[in-house]
Amino acid sequence: MSGDMQELIEYIDLKIRRLQEELEYLKNLRGFLEYKIGKLSIEPSTKELPAIISEANWRRYPSGAGEWCFADELPRCFIEELKEKSSKTLDGYRYVYKKLSGGREVVSRRALDGFKVMG
């Protein structure tokens, strides 16, 4: 009987450790998300905008002719400007806002000829 109780205590201790690890992971994830939200909600200066935009998770098109990322990875002020103008040239790239049929918003970019090479 006491052996069964000891196994139960060990099982509970193991569960507690796993829950503590999961809790630590979730706290770190929350901190990361709060950081990203804060970073995107701050209105960047004109000088900071190219650096912030370059940090986004740009994905190459299979054809190699440009890149794209989800609009929520970029500063709101930049997205709003793209929505109004439909495209913008900045720091050697032409950016275009697109709303996909599923409702997702993306931004595509292409390097201007002779200015930059993506990758």
Domain ranges of the chain: 49-111
What confidence category does residue 68 fall into, taking pLDDT thresholds of 50, 70 and 90?
very high
> Cβ(107)–Cβ(89) under 8 Å?
no
Nearest 5°: the CA angle 49, 51, 54 is 105
- pTM, whole model, 2 decimals? 0.59
What amino acid occupies position 47? K
32-36, 54-58, 104-108: lowest mean pLDDT where? 32-36
- Assess whether pLDDT exceeds 50 at residue 78: yes
Strands (E) in the chain, as ranges, are 59-60, 67-70, 87-90, 93-99, 105-111
- Assess whether pLDDT exceeds 90 at residue 38: no
68 three-class SS: strand
Per-residue pLDDT, averaged over 65-71, amounts to 92
- Which of 52, 65, 57, 55 is CA-nearest to residue 94? 65
Task: Give the pLDDT confidence score for residue 114 in this predicted structure.
Answer: 57
